[in-house]
Structure 1
């Protein structure tokens, strides 16, 4: 079985989101997470990419929706 390449799609999508308006919103982050989950498993490469993407979010950009999305992602990653 070949290695999943979803993490590359996630990276590409995040670049598109950040270059669009310079930030990432909860909806955009949700779409990136959906890419990771589409095969039913969030693997180590996808976690690495998610962690990198999240690290680029500036604290002043975190609204209630983003805070909830980050909490959800944290729970999902903790299960892996």
Structure 2
């Protein structure tokens, strides 16, 4: 694992050097691809968070409906 972490900065430096030697159009195309991928990841993350929040709300509503009725009926008796 440490080998990969050590390799990543070298790969990043190599990629940046390669990009700096290439024409601007090539860099822009690569940045657009990166932007699309980043947008996709962000969208998937938002969907996952929404799903988790929705599941928690449903679970809380079920717990409130199941446990809350008994105590309310007991209060009225």
The answer, yes or no, to whether TM exceeds 0.5 is: no
Q: Flag the structure with larger Rg.
A: 2
The answer to which structure has the higher helix fraction is 2
TM (norm. structure 2) is: 0.31
TM (norm. structure 1) is: 0.31
Give the structure, 1 or 2, with the largest relative contact order (CA under 8 Å, sep 6 or more): 1
